[in-house]
Structure 1
Amino acid sequence: MGLFMTLEDASAEEAALLREGVLPKAAPGGAAGRLRVFDLHCDTLDRLAFHGDPTVPGGFAAHDAPIPAARMSSLADNDAHISLARTAPFAWCQCFAAFIPDQVRGDEAWALFERVRRVWERELGRWPGRLAPARSMADVDAALAAGRTAGLLTVEGASFLEDDAAAEGRLDALAEAGVRMVTLTWNGRNALGSGNDTADGLTGFGRSCVRELELRGIIVDVSHLNDAGFKDVCATATQPFAASHSNARAVCGHPRNLADWQLRELADAGGVAGLNFCRDFLSETHADPTPDDVLRHVDHVLEAAGEDVLALGSDYDGCDVPSWLDPCDQVGGLHALIASRFGREVADKAFFGNARAFFERLEGQV
């Protein structure tokens, strides 16, 4: 099937999947009565874009080699963690990241971003009744009211930005493509700064990119930065920023997680921290983290930063997650756990309200 199709073609494809029982019928009444989910990070688009291509660094091809191509070719139904069939029973807003591995820079990295962006646009064209692009919270509200999954495009690892003549044009292109959030680094170094595997902070170019992203209404994401880089963002940013998928370091000592001072800085800045489902970031003792392991992170973030900071940043399709959260339609159990331990209001804010309020605060500052 080509990249572009008519609305009639898309409707026919959706109708066929409905007849086969692959896609559930659209939920009547829009978002009413459905659990609201706002997930700040997943890598599903990369898994679809790079399936079967061993030339792309990052391990997607090797990880997914046993999966037939037909089962990794569509957001509608697949063998990934996230599909529209699984999000349909919920009022679901998903931040879909274009992940750029550390090993690529400059033009090569930009080409990978463009590949992922084309897959995003292809899927939007294929499933207009199921998936809606969102650049604002009004767009999100409209999509959920219509019974569709709302999708925001984001970037993880901005190694295509270098201190050269192409940088400004690429920043403009991100804004034009509807990118709403950019994780400045992955685990290693790029021209902007250093990830958690290294010790240096932001470069001068990285600090200028923080300001340029803010000017374009693109949220700065500090997940994957090391502590020095986080401090540099605190000193540079003039708008609220996010840690889209990072947990509490006091509970699990992985450097990808946030120290208490970082959680407090996020709270003071009006930011959010997305609860990451990655097994390695949840527990240092359990290979398959338990519900109590996850709740300890929830409890600590609430204690350190208050109930307005905690959000979801699942990292679905970018890591191994606890068996009881695999695949994405199992998150209802987590909401029930948080509600039973901390109350329904806290659970609702963590699952949707805090992320939505965060994005809305940013809209008011552009």
Structure 2
Amino acid sequence: MDIIDLHCDVLEKLTRLEAVDFQNDNRLHANLNYLQAGKVKVQVFAIFIHPNVPQKEKFLEAARQIEAFHTKVLSKSEMVHITDWRQLDELKEGEIGAVLSLEGCDCIGEDIGKLQHLIDAGVKIVGLTWNEENTVAYGTSEAPSKGLKPFAHEVIQLLNQHDILLDVAHLNEQGFYEVLPLAKHIIASHCNARSICDHPRNLTDEQIKALVQNGGRIHVVFYPPFIEPAKETTTINELLKHIQHLTSLVGVESIGFGSDFDGMDPLAIEKLSNASEYQNLINALLNTYSIEEVQMMASKGFRNYVMGIGKREK
């Protein structure tokens, strides 16, 4: 069954590791061979800038990751750069769609022009923060009562203008609620249910329902500490508890996957430790849900969502 995965950190590894090959390097959990084996039809590649990178170098690091996206990912004939969501319906047999996202606006500082450059480079999904404070907003490691900063309104206006998906995955709670009425298109690319695992990176039931009521959707993440408290390894059955809870809250049409492969070394779910094992999750879901429901979570729900973007106004 085809998969759409909304989050991996391959690009950070492609710029950090020596002699890394996107085709088959087993240091990459979402390398090309693994994506093919797991039947991943569309993979979102995040631009993630480590907080230790000096501010003056962060935009250059973003540019380096975009260069790696072109020279190491898109250089493979199987990979197709998705710059228009309508391309999802044009992918041929054996082709994999590759989408750029920005995991936090740290690299743009206070320069809206830098965000425009990233959008021009093909970024289709943007998170306002990673875990910490930046010039736009506050992340999940900050006090939950802190809201958006003034610059956020300019950022959100630009995202709306270009129909970019705003990602709340790392946004703190007050910022989350302030974004809801402002963002034209909104998602949580890699979050789980806080009522199952009480971690600030997960969303409360109230947040999940508010997200969907405002036209958004949530994609579950495979990072063990977000599945079971303080666990370094976990199982597919534990992840299923989150999925079952989410489907009971908002239905299968609003749920998808955002693995976080390559962003959680060495932690992993047993039998779901890299993209090649994706079908193990699909088979487990088929024990509880119909094939139509699993297809909705695996790819069709997100496909339907982005195909309707031009029709949604806020």
Same fold by TM (over 0.5)?
A: yes
Matched residues in 2 for 1:229 and 1:292: separation?
A: 32
Q: Does 1:191 align with 2:135?
A: yes
Answering whether residue 114 of structure 2 is matched by residue 148 of structure 1, we say no
CA contact (8 A) 1:91 1:147 kept: no
For 2:283, the equivalent position in structure 1 comes to: 336
Unaligned runs of 5+ in 2: none
Distance (whole Å) between structure 1 residues aligned to residue 229 and residue 55 of structure 2: 36
1:102-153 CA distance string (max 9 Å, x none):
34465421011001000001024521x211101223322222x241111001
Residues 92 and 149, structure 1, Cα contact 8 Å, conserved in 2: yes
Q: 1:105 to 1:267 in 2, by over 3 A?
A: farther
Tell me the TM-score normalised to structure 2 length: 0.93
How far is the alpha carbon of 1:307 from its aligned partner? 1.7
Structure 1 residues 104 and 206, CA gap change in structure 2 (3 angstroms): farther
Counterpart in the other structure of 1:168: 112
Q: Secondary structure at the match of 2:295?
A: helix
Q: Say which SS state the counterpart of residue 341 (structure 1) adopts.
A: coil
How many Å separate the matches in 2 of 1:184 and 1:322?
28
Match in the other structure for 1:180: 124
* Separation in structure 1 between the aligned mates of residue 224 and residue 150 of structure 2, nearest angstrom: 34
Q: Which residue identity does 1:47 align to in structure 2?
A: K
Q: 1:131 aligns with which of 63, 69, 79?
A: 79
> Residue 155 of structure 2 corresponds to which residue in structure 1?
209
Structure 2 distance, partners of 1:125, 1:292, is 34
**Amino acid across the alignment from 1:117:** I
The answer to whether residue 213 in structure 2 is matched with residue 265 in structure 1 is no
1:174 offset after TM fit, Å?
A: 1.4
Whether the 8 Å CA contact 2:40–2:275 is kept in 1: the answer is no
Q: Give the number of the structure with larger relative contact order, counting CA–CA contacts within 8 Å between residues 6 or more apart.
A: 2
Q: What is the aligned-residue RMSD (CA, Å)?
A: 1.7
Match of 2:199 among 236, 254, 257: 254
The whole-number CA distance in structure 1 between the counterparts of 2:73 and 2:223 is 27
Q: What is the aligned residue count?
A: 307
Pick the aligned partner of 2:6 from 10, 31, 40: 40
TM superposition score normalised by structure 1: 0.80
Q: Post-superposition, which runs of at least 4 consecutive aligned residues in structure 1 deviate over 4 A?
A: none
Report SS of the residue matched to 2:136: coil
State how far apart, in whole Å, the 2-side matches of 1:207 and 1:304 are: 30
Question: Distance in 1 between the 2:54 and 2:155 partners?
Answer: 16
Contact 2:2 2:298 in 1 (8 A): yes
Amino-acid identity (%): 27
Q: State the alpha-carbon separation in 1 of the partners of residues 160 and 54 from structure 2.
A: 22
Q: Which residue of 1 aligns with 2:166?
A: 220
SS at match of 1:235: coil
Q: Does the 8 Å contact 2:33/2:276 carry over to 1?
A: no
Residue by residue over 1:246-304, the C-alpha shift from the partner in whole angstroms, topping out at 9 and shown as x without a partner, is 00000000110010111111211221111100010001275421222111000111111
Match for 1:333: what amino acid? N
- Contact between 1:96 and 1:151, CA under 8 Å: does it hold in 2? yes
Residue matched to 1:97 = 46
Instruction: Determine the structure 2 residue equivalent to 1:65.
Output: none
